[in-house]
């Protein structure tokens, strides 16, 4: 034993064996970490979800704090049962200092009469720190001076969402709110007069029949294109008319088109005539057709998993059915049906997409429900064009932050555009519908009411 201990060769062999064993153990530990990493990631994700849910509950539970109520407007939506949670990165102290300096410069430029520079500096300050209450309020005052009452009111509203007790924002919003209500109601009046003109067109009018048929294909094209479908208008027409697949194109995308066609037929033949009696089953049946050809497993049933939609975290899966019951109760209530049809349709769209009750197809189902409400009121179905996708998502995001009125105005604008297309197409010199792949400039053209 003594000789083994003192033999240098044997000492090297023992040392080399230890090194090899250490390497093997290290490799085994590395493999173990790799195997356990997905589970750890899932656990971290679950913890983050739990923290978000806890944050929303704590925010909802602070009912003892008096918050801004102000005057109500017909274009505002109550947040009963709708806990709005928008996750945003907070500005760092350095960025806040930069925003403060930009606001100071903006006010100086405004004092000197350099309003264009002031406008750019206000925008820059809010880009640096979107929750800067003083910048929101001062930019609101600046917007009022520029006669942009809608933007001013939006800025005051956002300031009060962040700081409900801000005295300057409270006083200013009390001034702009009645003006905004008047502007919105006047716009509804313009839409109503155009609806009457469309309804006065004889049902047998060949131009009206032709443009309604064309708008059907356009509607399917745009509503699936908003969700990323790449099929062209001519390919969609081919699929619907022949029921044959387009070679070389995604079968999932083609099944989405067939699903929209089936859902539209169901809405037109079954639901339009049933005013004031939309049920949860009806919404599930719409969704079953929307998604049934592309994903029959998830079609027609509420989601059972968490989903994340941009900055918005929809309700927990266990709360979906209850919130849908409350939503349907609201849909059939006198309060909802006493709203202007455009406002009612827009709010229904927003509330359903907020709950996000399905794993997929929420946007298409919400747009179908919106058009169902409009058609029940005698309006033609409207189309949100794919070129308007960015604006559409932006106003939905603004609604998630607490002000749904820009979304209602967006839907009102789409309604007026549809009415204008019908009126123009049925005149003596009809021009037909805009090209499916054209720019959205045509969407902004309106015709005056005489």
pLDDT bin (cut points 50, 70, 90) of residue 365 is: very high
Active-site pick, 71, 261, 356, 394: 356
Asked if the structure places residue 319 within a domain, the reply is yes
Asked if the structure places residue 38 within a domain, the reply is no
Question: In terms of domains, do 128 and 225 share one?
Answer: no
pLDDT tens, residue by residue, 280-300? 999 999 999 999 999 999 999
pLDDT bin (cut points 50, 70, 90) of residue 41 is: very low
* CATH code for position 359: 1.10.3290.10
Pick from 78, 345, 331, 77: nearest CA to 188 = 345
pLDDT tens, residue by residue, 191-250? 999 999 999 998 888 888 899 999 999 999 999 999 999 999 999 999 999 999 999 999
The residue with greater pLDDT, 402 or 15, is 402
pLDDT bin (cut points 50, 70, 90) of residue 433 is: low
Average pLDDT value for residue range 40-47:
42
Residue 29 has a CB neighbour count (10 Å cut-off) of: 10
Q: Facing residues of 312 across strands? A: 86, 309
Residue 17, pLDDT > 70, answer no
Question: What does 350-404 look like in DSSP terms, one character per residue?
Answer: HHHHHH--SSS-HHHHHHHHHHHHHHHTTPPP----GGGHHHHHHHHHHHHTT--
Question: In terms of domains, do 336 and 301 share one?
Answer: yes
Binding-site positions: 309-312, 360-367, 392-393, 400
Question: What does 424-440 look like in DSSP terms, one character per residue?
Answer: HHTSTT---PPPTTS-G
Residue 43, pLDDT > 60, answer no
Asked if the structure places residue 32 within a domain, the reply is no
Question: In terms of domains, do 388 and 291 share one?
Answer: yes
The residue with greater pLDDT, 21 or 314, is 314
Dmax (CA) for the chain in angstroms is: 116
Question: In terms of domains, do 226 and 163 share one?
Answer: no
pLDDT bin (cut points 50, 70, 90) of residue 63 is: very low
The whole-chain average pLDDT of the chain stands at 82
Question: In terms of domains, do 295 and 379 share one?
Answer: yes
**pLDDT (0 to 100) of residue 271:** 94
Q: Facing residues of 309 across strands? A: 312
Q: Enter the DSSP assignment of 440.
A: G
Pick from 82, 248, 92, 72: nearest CA to 173 = 72
Residue 233 CA to residue 432 CA, distance in Å, equals 15
Q: Facing residues of 86 across strands? A: 312
Question: What does 48-113 look like in DSSP terms, one character per residue?
Answer: HHHHHHHHHHHHHH-TTS--------TT----TT----B--PPPPHHHHHHHHHHHHHHHHHHHTT
Average pLDDT value for residue range 442-449:
47
Question: In terms of domains, do 159 and 291 share one?
Answer: no
pLDDT bin (cut points 50, 70, 90) of residue 277 is: confident
Residue 249 CA to residue 137 CA, distance in Å, equals 51
Domain limits for position 158: 93-182
**What is the value of pTM for the model shown?**
0.74
* CATH code for position 130: 1.25.40.10
Asked if the structure places residue 384 within a domain, the reply is yes
Q: Enter the DSSP assignment of 429.
A: T
Inter-residue contact 354 to 82 (CB < 8 Å): yes
Asked if the structure places residue 222 within a domain, the reply is yes
Question: In terms of domains, do 315 and 374 share one?
Answer: yes
Binding-site positions for ATP: 309-312, 360-367, 392-393, 400
Question: What does 289-326 look like in DSSP terms, one character per residue?
Answer: HHHTTT-TTTTTS---S---BTTB-PPPHHHHHHHHHH
**pLDDT (0 to 100) of residue 23:** 63
Residue 369, pLDDT > 50, answer yes
- What is the domain count for the chain? 2
Asked if the structure places residue 297 within a domain, the reply is yes
Asked if the structure places residue 14 within a domain, the reply is no
**316 belongs to the catalytic site:** no
pLDDT tens, residue by residue, 164-204? 999 999 999 999 999 999 999 999 999 999 999 999 998 88
pLDDT bin (cut points 50, 70, 90) of residue 312 is: confident
Residue 39, pLDDT > 80, answer no
Question: In terms of domains, do 175 and 248 share one?
Answer: no
CA dihedral 6, 12, 13, 18 (to 10 degrees): 110
Asked if the structure places residue 305 within a domain, the reply is yes
Question: In terms of domains, do 167 and 297 share one?
Answer: no
Question: In terms of domains, do 363 and 325 share one?
Answer: yes
Residue 56, pLDDT > 50, answer no
Question: In terms of domains, do 422 and 279 share one?
Answer: yes
Residue 91 has a CB neighbour count (10 Å cut-off) of: 16
Question: In terms of domains, do 154 and 214 share one?
Answer: no
């Amino acid at each position: 034993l003594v000789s083994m201990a003192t033999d240098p060769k044997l000492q090297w062999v023992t040392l080399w064996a230890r090194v090899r064993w250490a390497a093997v153990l290290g490799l085994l530990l590395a493999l173990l970490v790799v195997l356990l990493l997905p589970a750890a990631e899932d656990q971290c994700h679950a913890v983050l979800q739990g923290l978000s849910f806890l944050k929303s509950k704590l925010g909802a539970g602070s009912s003892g704090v008096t918050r801004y109520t102000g005057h109500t407007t017909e274009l505002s939506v109550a947040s009963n049962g709708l806990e709005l949670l928008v996750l945003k990165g907070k500005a760092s102290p350095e960025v806040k200092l930069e925003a403060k300096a930009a606001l100071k410069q903006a006010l100086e430029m405004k004092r000197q009469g350099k309003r264009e520079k002031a406008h750019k500096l206000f925008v820059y300050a809010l880009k640096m720190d979107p929750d800067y209450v003083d910048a929101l309020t001062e930019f609101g005052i600046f917007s009022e001076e520029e006669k942009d009452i809608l933007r001013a009111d939006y800025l005051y509203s956002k300031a009060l969402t962040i700081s409900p007790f801000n005295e300057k924002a409270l006083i200013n919003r009390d001034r702009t709110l009645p003006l905004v209500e008047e502007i919105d109601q006047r716009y509804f009046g313009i839409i109503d007069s155009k609806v009457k003109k469309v309804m006065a067109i004889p049902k047998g009018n060949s131009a009206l029949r032709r443009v309604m048929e064309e708008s059907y294909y356009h509607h399917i094209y745009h509503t699936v294109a908003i969700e990323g479908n790449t099929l062209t208008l001519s390919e969609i027409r081919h699929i619907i008319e022949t029921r044959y697949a387009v070679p070389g194109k995604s079968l999932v995308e083609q099944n989405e088109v067939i699903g929209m066609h089936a859902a539209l037929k169901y809405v037109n033949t079954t639901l339009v005539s049933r005013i004031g009696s939309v049920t949860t089953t009806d919404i599930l049946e719409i969704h079953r057709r929307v998604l049934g050809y592309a994903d029959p497993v998830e079609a027609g049933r509420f989601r059972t998993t968490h989903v994340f939609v941009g900055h918005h975290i929809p309700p927990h899966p266990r709360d979906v059915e209850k919130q849908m019951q409350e939503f349907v109760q609201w849909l059939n209530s006198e309060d909802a049906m006493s709203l202007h049809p455009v406002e009612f349709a827009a709010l229904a769209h927003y509330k359903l997409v907020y709950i996000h009750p399905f794993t997929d197809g929420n946007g298409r189902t919400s747009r179908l429900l919106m058009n169902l409400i409009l058609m029940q009121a005698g309006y033609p179905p409207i189309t949100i064009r794919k070129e308007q996708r960015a604006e559409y998502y932006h106003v939905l995001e603004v609604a998630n932050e607490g002000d749904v009125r820009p979304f209602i105005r967006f839907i009102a604008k789409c309604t007026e555009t549809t009415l204008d297309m019908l009126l123009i197409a049925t005149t003596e010199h009809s021009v037909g519908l805009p090209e499916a792949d054209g720019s959205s400039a045509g969407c902004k053209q309106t015709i005056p009411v005489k």
